[in-house]
Amino acid sequence: QVQLVESGGGSVQAGGSLRLSCAASGRTFSSHNMGWFRQAPGKEREFVAAISWSGGSTYYADSVRGRFSISIDNAKNTVYLQMNSLKPEDTAVYYCNEADHAGNVLHAWGRGTLVTVSS
C-alpha cells in the first residue's frame, strides 16, 4: 500500500511563488507516473502535471505550462511542484497521486494542501 501526504500550501499574492511537496510511503512502480491534481471550489478535480519516476518525462496542463515545474527525488520518494507567477485562478486544493498508463489514479485521495492566491 502507498500513503501520500501533500504539504507546502498556503496563501500568496498574485505573481508569487510556492513549492508543494508530496511524500510517498510504501512501494510504488517505476513504470507508472506521479501527478499533481487540483480542485477549485465548485469545480471538478483536474490534472495539473505529472512526471515519470525516472524523471525523464514530464507533462503539464495548458493552464500551467511555463509557470509550474514538476520534479522528483527518488531517494526521498518525494515529488515536488514549483509554482511561479501564481494567478487567482490557481486557487484550489492540490492533491498528488500515482497513475497507470491509462491515466487512472491508483490510490485513495489524501487531504491535499490548500493554495490560495489573492489579487
- CA distances from residue 93 to 25, 39, 103, 106 in whole angstroms, order as listed: 21, 5, 20, 19
**105-109 contacts, C-beta under 8 A, 24 or more apart:** 105/35, 105/37, 106/2, 106/32, 107/2, 107/3, 107/4
The per-residue pLDDT for range 16-67, each reduced to its tens digit, is: 999 999 998 877 666 789 999 999 999 999 999 999 987 889 999 999 999 9
Residue 6 grid cell: 501533500
The whole-number average pLDDT for the span 83-98 is 97
Q: What integer pLDDT is reported at residue 30 of this predicted model? A: 66
pLDDT band at 110 (very low <50, low <70, confident <90, very high): very high
The whole-number average pLDDT for the span 9-17 is 98
How far is C-alpha 18 from the chain's CA centre?
A: 12
- Please give the mean pLDDT across all residues of the chain: 93
The DSSP code sequence of 50-117 is EEETTSS-EEE-TTTBTTEEEEEEGGGTEEEEEE-S--GGG-EEEEEEEE-TTS-B-S-----EEEEE
